[in-house]
Structure 1
Amino acid sequence: MNFSQLRYGDFQINRMLGRGSQGSTYLVTLKSTQQQFAMKRENYLEEEDKESVNREIEQMKRLKSRFTVKLIHTFLDREDMCIIMQLCKQGDLRKMIANLQKIPERERIMRVWAILAQIIRALDHLHSHNVIHRDIKPENIFVMEDGSVRLGDFGFAKELTERTYTSIAGTRVYIAPEVWLLRRTNFSSDIFSVGIITQELLTGCHPFDTGYEQGIVDNIIKGHMREQPSFVSRELKELIFSMLDQDFSKRPTTKQIMDQETIQMYLRMQEEKEQEIEIEQRRTNEVEQENIRLREQLNQMQISDTPQIRQQGIQQPETSFSIERSRRQMASVFQTLSPILFSPILPGLNDVTFQDNLYTNVSDNHSTVLFNPVIRSGIVRMEILNVADLLAVGIADESVQYDQNEYPESGGKHKRIYFRYDGSLTHISSYLQGNDEFGHSGCRVTMELNMDTNPRSLTFFINDVEQKNYLTNIPAAVRFYAFLLYKGEQFKVLKFDHLSSPAATHRESHAYSWGNSWE
């Protein structure tokens, strides 16, 4: 779509998202398409304001990447500059900080590692372009619908023409001590801010908190920091302490942090998901083009197959068949897919390794691997390849967490469905046979959750064949899992998608209810 001619009247203002020193940001809807965006209105009257806004826009253009919030369009409206940006539907990191405090500590640590890896990657993009952000804070880090994060708000960003920048800018409680003491800002000042945010993600609290702003600033200057909670691993503690070092010369660079082993692991995982999304997006575009082609073909066939032509005695034996074939093709094409960014919850970091979505049990412990995100809505499919002796797959209520060496039923037999390699299903004390087995290497087992139907359902497929027994009355929020019993067992996640329509038909199938005993 061509945005170059759009003006203020083309957008509907829905609500305010935030307020800054120069203006406010709103959730807006483009009237012609109903697409939603973020609109930032900034003062553009005084020369000083113009210089600041123009600099911010230029930085957004220059730093355009998949790590930063995308600039869509800019235009003047009276004395304000309107900046249209992509909408980050899950808001900023402040909301994420609050949500993380509600989940178990082990899962929280894993989520923090993943978020930190993405923040550092985005910040490295800026630093590689010789730009310091100068206002790193939760409100300037945004969360996309797939859970990935983007760096935004470049109002204070500056190109570092010398080794330091000699002015104070940013949000006071995230400003590094050398900025206050020496009036010098450099790349390591951004690192200090990230260290504060990492601590907030873990604990929900600012590491220098005193209850009031000036007290926090004083603690930052003096280096008086709260102790790390005991549940934080030594590895993560040491990284946070290094980022918050009072001596800016001792803080790690973005490159050094990205070389850290656990950060590397989460970056690899993130990059693999992004590659899958890119591939699926290309497939979606191809599907849309095929939709257009089939519509045109179907319309042409319907036009040619008219009573007038039949009256002329022209034989068209293939026309109705061709139309029906096109309709069937369109029906399959319309079952479009969109990939979901997923991540494992590993019960022990040293028990299961994963690379390119291949998961291997490398220890003598057995491991139940849960997968985020929690599924609450939509039609979601997870397809798993049995590479070597996968024992079972299933779903578990979102409240279930697994420790090292725990079986799926350890979280409660009434809180999980267990689909075993021999085709049997178990739930509570019930045991049910009738589905095909998937115990051979090379078998594909697919779980399709339909959270939009009433009742909610879970259907299984083996090598694309819908299975006889399926589940209904699924809880409102669940996760997929896979279970590895012995060392050397392997599985690979092939697909984790949103479906626009279910593949399950439930013809000649039998439904069994979650929460009930099966007779």
Structure 2
Amino acid sequence: MQKFKTSFSLFNSLLLKNRERMETKFSQNYINNKFDIQQGKLQQQQRLPCKADFVLLFVICRGGFGRVWKAENKKSKQQFAIKEMNKCKIINKKSVSSVMNERYLLSNLRHPQDKQTKQVFRNLYLAIDLMQGGDLRYHLCKQRKFNEKQTKFFIACLLLALDYLYINTVLHIDIKPENLVFDKNGYLRLTDLGIARIWKPDNENDNSGTPGYMAPEVMHRQAHGVASDYFAVGIIAFECMMGKRPYVRKTKRKIRDQIMAQQVLIK
């Protein structure tokens, strides 16, 4: 147990060093961001694909706005997951800005290790990479917990994804097991940019997220940066190894009070 505590402390120190490194880079990139934040200009793109460019094979799952299809591009034969969203549901749930925000980010972010390009249709469809390994929540429910080696691998995958977002001055804001999906090779991918935001200094009013994974400064409506995402990374690391979240309460306020009242210890 002592060895486990020491190793976990070392793991935390590595997270802290990476967070400090990214905070410095984050501030520098904010000034020279390739996105034109003031004018909101999109990078020049090629012709947007349309639904007719794809063959919809079958429904993978259903969500709050519609359904997700497994689809194949007619020319390239590449397979994608296509999110088909119902316009009325989006408007009724007052989520237009969230959907358009995800569309904007998917249109502009191009990870060098990601060979499949995200494609955005003119209508309410998003073509994204097809992930067939299930999300981390599914595997947590099945496995209950993971060993330290497995957890380190998961966190390493997550940190690589965050590193790319931060280079582009984007905060994810909603990191949780449901948004971490395994690809066919077993690598963990970060998904769902619905409430991700291009960072700005005065972001006190951006308090979206999932209770249990939200940093205290976000819940207290304070300005926040990459540390808020790294808080969620720490929660996920704890949950993977211990089989439960460190802070569990019924309401957002009670979770916030619990975080502020006690420091989690591994016994």
Q: Any stretches of 5+ residues in structure 1 without a counterpart?
A: 230-519
Quickly say closer, same or farther: Cα 1:52–1:71, change in 2 above 3 A: farther
| One-letter amino acid matched to 2:131 | C
The residue that corresponds to 2:126 in the other structure is: 83
Between the two structures, name the one with larger relative contact order (CA 8 Å, sep ≥ 6). Answer: 2
Question: Would you tell me which structure has more strand in proportion to its own residues?
Answer: 1
Q: Is 1:151 the equivalent of 2:190?
A: yes
Q: How many angstroms does 1:60 deviate by?
A: 1.6
The residue that corresponds to 2:135 in the other structure is: 92
Q: How many angstroms does 1:221 deviate by?
A: 4.0
| Structure of greater Rg | 1
Q: How many angstroms does 1:28 deviate by?
A: 2.0
Quickly say closer, same or farther: Cα 1:207–1:8, change in 2 above 3 A: farther
CA contact (8 A) 1:133 1:156 kept: yes
The residue that corresponds to 1:10 in the other structure is: 55
SS in 1 for 2:186: coil
The residue that corresponds to 1:28 in the other structure is: 70
Q: How many angstroms does 1:109 deviate by?
A: 0.6
CA contact (8 A) 1:66 1:150 kept: no
| One-letter amino acid matched to 1:160 | W
Q: How many angstroms does 1:32 deviate by?
A: 5.6
CA contact (8 A) 1:166 1:185 kept: no
The residue that corresponds to 1:407 in the other structure is: none
Question: Would you tell me which structure has more helix in proportion to its own residues?
Answer: 2
CA contact (8 A) 1:67 1:149 kept: no
Quickly say closer, same or farther: Cα 1:63–1:32, change in 2 above 3 A: closer
| One-letter amino acid matched to 2:136 | L
CA contact (8 A) 1:73 1:84 kept: yes
Quickly say closer, same or farther: Cα 1:187–1:145, change in 2 above 3 A: same
Partners of 1:146 and 1:115 in 2: how far apart?
13
SS in 1 for 2:127: strand
Q: How many angstroms does 1:154 deviate by?
A: 0.7
Partners of 1:9 and 1:61 in 2: how far apart?
18
| One-letter amino acid matched to 1:207 | P
| One-letter amino acid matched to 1:152 | T
| One-letter amino acid matched to 2:119 | H
Q: Any stretches of 5+ residues in structure 2 without a counterpart?
A: 1-46
| One-letter amino acid matched to 2:128 | M
CA contact (8 A) 1:100 1:201 kept: no
> What TM-score results when the alignment is normalised by the length of structure 1?
0.37
CA contact (8 A) 2:83 2:125 kept: yes
Q: How many angstroms does 1:102 deviate by?
A: 6.3
The residue that corresponds to 2:63 in the other structure is: 19
The residue that corresponds to 1:114 in the other structure is: 153
Q: Is 1:228 the equivalent of 2:266?
A: yes
The residue that corresponds to 1:56 in the other structure is: 102
Deviations 1:478-518, CA, capped at 9 Å, x for gaps? xxxxxxxxxxxxxxxxxxxxxxxxxxxxxxxxxxxxxxxxx
Match of 1:185 among 201, 213, 224: 224
CA contact (8 A) 2:247 2:255 kept: yes
| One-letter amino acid matched to 1:228 | I
Partners of 2:184 and 2:82 in 1: how far apart?
18
CA contact (8 A) 1:69 1:152 kept: no
CA contact (8 A) 2:54 2:74 kept: no
CA contact (8 A) 1:90 1:143 kept: yes
Deviations 1:209-228, CA, capped at 9 Å, x for gaps? 24x34443432343453x32
| One-letter amino acid matched to 1:14 | V
What percent of counterpart residues are identical?
26
| One-letter amino acid matched to 1:55 | N
The residue that corresponds to 2:84 in the other structure is: 41
Q: How many angstroms does 1:122 deviate by?
A: 1.0
Quickly say closer, same or farther: Cα 1:101–1:132, change in 2 above 3 A: same
Deviations 1:416-472, CA, capped at 9 Å, x for gaps? xxxxxxxxxxxxxxxxxxxxxxxxxxxxxxxxxxxxxxxxxxxxxxxxxxxxxxxxx
Quickly say closer, same or farther: Cα 1:68–1:152, change in 2 above 3 A: farther
Partners of 1:161 and 1:97 in 2: how far apart?
34
**RMSD between aligned alpha carbons?**
3.2
| One-letter amino acid matched to 1:116 | I
CA contact (8 A) 2:217 2:223 kept: yes
Deviations 1:294-327, CA, capped at 9 Å, x for gaps? xxxxxxxxxxxxxxxxxxxxxxxxxxxxxxxxxx
Quickly say closer, same or farther: Cα 1:156–1:70, change in 2 above 3 A: farther
> What TM-score results when the alignment is normalised by the length of structure 2?
0.68
CA contact (8 A) 1:100 1:202 kept: no
Deviations 1:57-102, CA, capped at 9 Å, x for gaps? 221232221567955433355xxx1111111110211123245546
Q: How many residues are paired up?
A: 216
